[in-house]
């Protein structure tokens, strides 16, 4: 179990002992300590985002917000364990949305039911996907249509890297292939960074990836995005068109990050954490930190709104999986 920072945990205890509230503490501050399960290792994107937000949530929901990293099996083991935790509000889950809205459609069996065993609290940000090309693609290939035409000319041109089969990135790329009748061929890597390395080295011509995983290489001129999956152009990539504006509105897809309680958690706890997170997202440092990671700050106003968004995304990914005839993974 890892604290956000040792002084933060001790600071909450010391403040309580001296009989005063931490700055900005809400009247509904519910716990002395709250544990936040993150199914990825320290330093991973999900971990970094959680810690960034929890720096500001600390003192507004619990005196100490303790991050508990439980990596393995793309967070599936962590979520399964979390569903069995006590539901008094002292246990929270922070996770990308893929484990909630996508995994039920891409795995034959899950050891948890995200729609019945978790209580949504709030979404905080989204990570859009982008189709990027590297030095193996001629410089004159600048647009999506030009890339697809180039890919059709030779099978070796049509390979693209992903961070693994069954991800939102993979399904988005396969949907693009189906919609445009382009025989794109996935090369699955064990992690986005390995695919990025081969992209910028010219070993693979293209990659479908989250914006954060490639943004620094794009800024450095080692790769370039030719289209993104967001509904509107991104602030940090204003010159890159969306699939939607290029005539492919079906490809408005992304991943999100959000907080959850165990299913039987109280509405009081969900609403209190929701308010604490929304307050944290007004902090300029938090906003700048999330945007520097290539994320779009995009909160849900209430737990009910988050639940409705999850239902929509769950249905959408199920439809995409059917349209590309995705075979569930064992």
Q: What is the DSSP string of 184-213?
A: -EEEE-SSHHHHHHHHHTTSSSEEEEEHHH
Q: What is the pLDDT of residue 32?
A: 87
Reported pTM: 0.87
Return the beta strands (E) in the chain as ranges.
Answer: 2-3, 31-38, 62-69, 91-96, 118-133, 159-162, 185-188, 206-210, 224-228, 254-262, 296-297
Residues 75 and 11 in one domain: yes
Q: What is the pLDDT of residue 1?
A: 41
Residues 225 and 236 in one domain: yes
Residues 178 and 208 in one domain: yes
Residues 17 and 120 in one domain: yes
Q: What is the pLDDT of residue 330?
A: 84
Residues 162 and 117 in one domain: no
Q: What is the DSSP string of 153-182?
A: H-GGGGEEEES-TTSHHHHHHHHHHHHHT-
Domain limit, last residue, from 213, 236, 251:
251
DSSP state of 241: P
DSSP state of 300: -
Write out the chain's pLDDT in tens, 330 residues. Answer: 444 443 333 233 333 332 333 333 344 556 889 999 999 999 999 999 999 999 999 999 999 999 999 999 999 999 999 999 999 999 999 999 999 999 999 999 999 999 999 999 999 999 999 999 999 999 999 999 999 999 999 999 999 999 889 999 999 999 999 999 999 999 999 888 899 999 999 999 999 999 988 999 999 999 999 999 999 999 889 999 999 999 999 999 999 999 999 999 999 999 999 999 999 999 999 999 999 888 999 999 999 999 999 999 999 999 999 999 999 998
Q: How far apart are CA 115 and CA 307, in angstroms?
A: 9
Q: What is the pLDDT of residue 125?
A: 95
Residues 82 and 161 in one domain: no
CATH number of the CATH domain containing 97: 3.40.190.150
Domain limit, last residue, from 194, 217, 251:
251
């Amino acid at each position: 179990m890892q604290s956000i920072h040792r002084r933060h945990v001790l600071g909450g205890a010391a403040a309580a002992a001296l009989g005063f509230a931490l700055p900005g503490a809400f009247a509904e501050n519910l716990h002395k300590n709250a544990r936040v399960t993150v199914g990825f290792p320290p330093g991973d994107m999900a971990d970094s985002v959680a810690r960034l937000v929890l720096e500001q949530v600390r003192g507004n929901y619990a005196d100490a917000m303790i991050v508990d990293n439980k990596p393995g099996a793309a967070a599936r083991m962590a979520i399964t364990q979390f569903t069995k935790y006590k539901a008094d509000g002292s246990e929270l889950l922070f996770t990308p949305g893929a484990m909630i809205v996508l995994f039920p459609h891409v795995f034959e069996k899950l050891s948890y039911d995200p729609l019945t065993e978790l209580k949504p609290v709030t979404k905080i940000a989204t990570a859009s996907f982008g189709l990027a090309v590297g030095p193996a693609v001629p410089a004159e290939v600048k647009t999506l249509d030009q890339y697809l035409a180039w890919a059709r000319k030779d099978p070796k041109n049509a390979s693209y890297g992903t961070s693994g089969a069954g991800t939102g990135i993979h399904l988005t790329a396969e949907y693009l292939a189906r919609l445009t009748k382009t025989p794109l061929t996935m090369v699955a890597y064990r992690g986005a960074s390995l695919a990025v390395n081969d992209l910028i080295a010219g070993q693979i011509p293209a990659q479908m990836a989250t914006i954060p995983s490639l943004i620094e290489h794009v800024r450095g001129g080692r790769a370039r995005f030719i289209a993104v999956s967001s509904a509107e152009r991104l602030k940090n990539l204003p010159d890159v068109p969306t699939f939607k504006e290029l005539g492919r509105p079906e490809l408005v897809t992304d991943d999100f990050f959000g907080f959850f309680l165990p299913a039987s958690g109280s509405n009081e706890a969900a609403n209190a954490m929701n308010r604490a997170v929304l307050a944290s997202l007004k902090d300029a440092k938090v906003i700048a930190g999330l945007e520097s990671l290539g994320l779009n700050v995009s909160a849900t106003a209430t737990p009910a709104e988050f639940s409705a968004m999850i239902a929509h995304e769950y249905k959408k990914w199920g439809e995409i999986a059917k349209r590309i005839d995705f075979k569930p993974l064992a």
